[in-house]
Amino acid sequence: MDRNVNGTVAEGFEPVRDAFVRNFTELGERGAAVAVYRDGRKVADLWGGTRDVDGTEPWERDTVQVLHSATKGVAAAAALLLAERGVLDLDAPVAAYWPEFKAHGKERLTVRHVLAHRGGIPVVDRPLTPAEASDPDRTAATVAAQAPLWKPGTDHGYHPHTYGWILGELFRRVTDGRHIGEWIETEISRPLGGLDLWVGLPAHQAHRVGRAGRVQPPETPGALRTRPKRSVAEAYADPASTTSRAFAAMTPPPDDNDPAYRAAVHPSSNGIATADALARFYAALIGEVDGVRLWSPATTAAATRAQSEGPDRTLVVGTRFGLGHMLHGPASPLLGPASFGHPGRGGPLGLADPETGIAFAYVTNGFRKTVTSDPRAQALVRAVRTSLTATTAGSGA
């Protein structure tokens, strides 16, 4: 094994190790980890590089990193657990739990619309600073007062920040004031043996977070270099576009290395975890992990049913969403047609595939200018597919 990489893989999953090593040698990886579970059993657990994107100290097994929007997959699972327990009705108006939210024509905007990015409020008229966005009273008042860009339920567009602000307030309303990070800790992390996964990092865990930063991908031959469609590039460059305004709902962009930002609760963007914890979480959504299963099979089936698909008003390209998770498609390739999960801007990815029993997670400290499909994560997903083909053939199945 490359001296830069530590950990183990089960027999047949060597392609995952090989792809992880190539990410360092060919794709400019600085520090990262990947974990894979199959039918509730860990089959790959690898980490390597440096814990800080610009440092020399090695990434350790317990190094954690910010997940960006891969956090949304955890928040979505928490909402579906509330629904499974009868606490939250997905087809009820948000205003049934939060009366102030009905302002400006949002009285029929449902919880399902929020999870499927169909609510029509990906932007806010006055962006919030990271400090303001860390105040749940402020975010709740802001989205409650916001008029939608389109009639809720009639179209979809990714809600980069407002998704979490709405879910965060819904949790406070239906759980007697508990914030979603606390709920995830007690109802998801603890039952699974104390996952190294938080939305709102505790102070005593702050020393474990590696320093993140932007990295430039290495140059590739022209024939292999991928370029965004012109319409996408134009949308991001136009400050008046829904794309630009949605991502600028928190302005300036938060600093991943700011202790105050890490400690705040941002259900859309600042989850912090090891790859193993994120993969173990997804494994427990589709089956038992050490005797614990988070969801019923019926909830898994509901989670994988498309609620939104087609041209995305925010991301411009075609996207597919279930109940809070992205589904497999060209804009966000996952393991296969049955997969659900969520990427994080710049690299991270967590997913589950009920058809194969696979749960997968990748975290990194080197973020790139990618939104839904990072080449390092995709290389690892392809390696999992290769491993499945080999192990299935080898078993005679």
> Is 69 designated active site?
yes
3-state secondary structure of 265: coil
Give pLDDT, residue 225: 41
Q: What is the structure's pLDDT at 221?
A: 44
* CA distance to 191, 192, 265, per residue, from 291 (Å): 10, 9, 29
The pLDDT assigned to 219 comes to 61
Residue 229: per-residue pLDDT: 52
112, 227, 318 from 332: Cα distances, Å: 21, 16, 9
Cα(127)–Cα(142) distance, integer angstroms: 9
The catalytic position among 69, 134, 189, 387 is 69
How confident is the model at residue 3, as a pLDDT?
54
> Given this model, what pLDDT does residue 231 score?
65
pLDDT at residue number 394:
57
Q: What whole-number distance in Å separates Cα of residue 111 and Cα of residue 118?
A: 10
Q: Is the pTM of this model over 0.75?
A: yes
CA 380 to chain centre: 17
> Is the bond preceding 58 in cis, omega lying within 30 degrees of 0?
no
Positions of the chain with pLDDT under 50 = 1, 221-228, 397
Which pLDDT belongs to residue 392?
75
Domains (ranges, CATH) in the chain? 53-279+291-353 (3.40.710.10)
